[in-house]
Chains A and B, each alone.
Chain A
Amino acid sequence: MQQRVKYYQTGTFTVGNRLLDEEKRTVQATKERNNSLTCGHRACQGCGEALGARFAIDAAMNAVNNKLIAVNATGCLEVFSTPYPESSWRIPWIHSLFGNAPAVATGVAAALRARGETKTRVIAQGGDGGTVDIGFGCLSGMFERNDDVLYICYDNEAYMNTGVQRSSRTPPGARTATTPPVGEHPGNSYNQGKNPALIAMAHNIPYVATASVADLHDLEDKVEKAMSISGARYVHIHVPCPLGWGAKPSNTIRLARLAIETGLFPLFEAEDGEIVDTTPIRKQQPVDEYLKLQRRFAHILKDPLALETIQAMADRNISRFNLVREMEVTNNG
Chain B
Amino acid sequence: MDKPFAITLDIESSYSNHTGSWRTERPVYIDRLPPCNDACPAGENIQGWLHEAEEGKYENAWRILVRDNPMPGVHGRVCYHPCENACNRQQIDSAVSIHAVERFLGDQALKHGWKVEAGKDSGKKVAIIGAGPSGLSAAWHLRLMGHQVVIFEAGPMAGGMMRFGIPKYRLPREVLDEEISRICDLGVEIKLNSKIDDIPALMDEGFDAVFVAIGAHVARRTDIPARDAGTILDAVSVLQNVETGDTPPLLGRRVIVYGGGNTAFDTARTAKRLGASETMIVYRRNQEQMPAHDFEMHEAVDEGIMVRWLSTIKEIDDTSYKIEKMRLNDEGWPEPTGEFETIEADTLILALGQTTDSSFLEKLDGVEVERNGVVKVDESMMTGFPGVFAGGDMVPADRTVTTATGHGKLAARNIDAWMRGEKWQAGDRHEIAGFKHINPWYYTDAPKKLQPVLDIARRQSTFTEVVKGLDEDNALFEARRCLSCGNCFECDNCYGMCPDNSVIKLGPGKGFEFNYDFCKGCGLCAAECPCGAITMIKEPE
Contact = CB atoms under 8 A, between A and B. Distances in A.
B524 interface: yes
B501 A54 contact: yes
Nearest to A81: B14
Interface string B479-512: 0111010000111110111111110010110000
Contact of A40 (B17, B508, B522, B528): B17
Interface string A293-333: 00000000000000000000000000000000000000110
B426 interface: no
Interface string B451-483: 000000000000000000000010011001110
A169 interface: no
Interface of A: 4-5, 7-11, 13-19, 25-26, 28-29, 31, 35, 38-43, 45-48, 50-51, 54, 81, 84-88, 90, 216, 242, 248-254, 257, 283, 331-332
Contacts of A51: 497-499
B428 interface: no
A10 B530 contact: yes
Nearest to B521: A45
Tell me what chain A mostly uses at the interface: helix, strand, loop, or mixed.
Answer: loop
A48 B498 CA distance: 10
Given A28-B496, A39-B14, A51-B499, A14 B518 contact: no
Nearest to A242: B522
B446 A216 contact: no
A179 B7 CA distance: 38
A242 B17 CA distance: 22
Contacts of A19: 54-55, 480
B442 A10 contact: yes
B12 interface: yes
Interface in B523-541: 523-524, 526-528, 530, 536
8 contacts: A5-B476, A13-B444, A16-B496, A26-B492, A40-B13, A85-B7, A249-B522, A249-B523
A46 B500 CA distance: 8
A86 B17 contact: yes
A332 B495 CA distance: 23
A330 to B, nearest CB: 10
Contacts of B320: none
B19 A39 contact: yes
B285 interface: no
Given A43-B499, A48-B499, A86 B505 contact: no
Contact of A50 (B444, B480, B499): B499
Contact of A7 (B11, B16, B446, B527): B446
A9 B496 contact: no
A40 B18 contact: yes
Contacts of B520: 45-46
B22 interface: yes
Nearest to A40: B14
Contact of A15 (B14, B496, B507): B496
